[in-house]
Structure 1
Amino acid sequence: MASNSRGIGTRKKIVESVKAEIIAKGPAKTSISAITSRIGITRSLFYHYFADKEEAVSAALDAVIDDFVNDLILWDKKHRSAEINTALTDLAELLIHIVREDGPFREGLSLGGGEDLYLRFMDRTARQISAHFTQLGALRAQTQNTALENIEDTVYVLLVGLVALIRTTPDISASTVRLLLAQSLHVQNFIR
């Protein structure tokens, strides 16, 4: 059992090293040597966990996305019985926080030829969050009696648009994001 937990720990250290290298140098300049040097392991140990750099980078993307999804799950647990305006305000603040907090990683992805990787990251993030979003108790009751169809795809489009809006409008308020969420999701009884 101890060997398995050490293996999980080593894999996690490699993923954290990949994230740090991407932030520091961008994906194109991130090398297996730099990843392994950062945490003091051999290349052969790296290859025990990952077939190549691309697989390790993909694992790093998944780790960042998992953090976002976990934030969303925690939000849902806090707001299942909350009044909808409070839940939407906190969700808007969470989205702003996620976009602003992923700044160093996102910026690292777009360094030196990583634009395609950044687009894949954004797409995977929006897909994962929209898939979980449809299961959230805090909003499910508010949206299930609306005329919305394809709610998961609607949330995906909404997230992609909100991320772009938040990135390009740094001073956007949580109340504006809350209003956009409510209007887009046709939340009933929404009060400004």
Structure 2
Amino acid sequence: MTRPRRRPPGEPPRVVKHPDDRRQDILGAARTLFARQGLIRTTLADIATQAGIARGLIYHYFPDKDALVDAVLAGYVADFVASLRAWDAAREPGNIDKALADCIVLFRRYLHPDGDLAPGLPRIEDARVQTRFVDSAVDAVVETLGVTTVPAYAAAHRIAIDHVPQTFRVLIHGLIALVRTEPDLPEQVLADIVRQTLRLDPSSSPADPEGA
């Protein structure tokens, strides 16, 4: 007859959690450590310690570290898309200037994770992973804008540019590079660049029911 294992003195009792909750614990621990010390310096053992679990349990949810990294980065993209949808829902119809200003604030918050409201972006030392992450984020943003903001704008204004999705991709990639190389660039300059690139109409009155 097998006797139950006795916990060594001081070892906390084993906590049984739902698999979804345990997976979120692992993702949360990885997210914290990736932001604090980077992807390369963070080991699975570090993540297990942070999550308060045995290292081997991670493999029950993720086949390797690369899969865990991809899941964490996908979570950041999902967070940004959720914030973008919230921004779109809160826009004042017709007030394009305010919509641009608010969007630039949101954009910079995710690129500069040092403020109190920032989500704490991961430190990605691998250029290939960084490129894959940025491409995935830009694709998600363009897709989201394509089913929210762009149709709303088109319902009230003429879209003056051709190749709308491709233009958005070029614009967002360019803004990311610009903010990283010139972090102190005024937000109004960024808003002006967006307005000029997309050839946006001047703001109509916020009270205009036909504005978008």
- TM-score, normalised by the number of residues in structure 1: 0.84
Structure 2 unmatched runs, 5+: 1-16, 205-212
Q: Does 1:27 align with 2:39?
A: yes
Q: Distance in 1 between matches of 2:19 and 2:30?
A: 17
Q: Distance in 2 between matches of 1:146 and 1:35?
A: 48
SS at match of 1:109: coil
Change (3 A) 1:94 1:82: farther
1:182 and 1:190 in contact (8 A); partners too: no
Change (3 A) 1:154 1:52: same
Q: Does 1:13 align with 2:25?
A: yes
Question: Which residue is equivalent to 1:134?
Answer: 146
SS at match of 1:51: coil
Q: Offset of 1:190 from its aligned partner?
A: 5.3
1:142 and 1:188 in contact (8 A); partners too: no
Structure 1 unmatched runs, 5+: none
Question: Which residue is equivalent to 2:56?
Answer: 44
1:118-162: per-residue Cα shift (whole Å, max 9, x none)? 12111111111111112223x534357224233122111111110
Which stretch of the first structure deviates more once superposed, 177-186 or 54-63?
177-186
1:93 and 1:174 in contact (8 A); partners too: yes
Question: Which residue is equivalent to 1:156?
Answer: 169
Q: Offset of 1:45 from its aligned partner?
A: 2.1
2:35 and 2:120 in contact (8 A); partners too: yes
Question: Which residue is equivalent to 1:59?
Answer: 71
1:142 and 1:187 in contact (8 A); partners too: no
Q: Does 1:122 align with 2:140?
A: no
Q: Does 1:74 align with 2:86?
A: yes
Number of aligned residue pairs: 182
2:160 and 2:200 in contact (8 A); partners too: no
Q: Distance in 2 between matches of 1:140 and 1:86?
A: 18
Which consecutive aligned stretches of 4+ in structure 1 deviate over 4 angstroms post-superposition?
none
Q: Offset of 1:23 from its aligned partner?
A: 2.4
SS at match of 1:105: coil
- TM-score, normalised by the number of residues in structure 2: 0.77
Q: Does 1:105 align with 2:117?
A: no
The one of 172, 178, 192 aligned to 2:191: 178
Q: Distance in 2 between matches of 1:34 and 1:176?
A: 42
**Bigger Rg, which one:** 2
Give the letter aligned to residue 177 of structure 1: L
- State percent identity of aligned pairs: 26
Higher helix share: 1
Change (3 A) 1:45 1:80: farther
Root-mean-square deviation (CA), in Å? Answer: 2.2
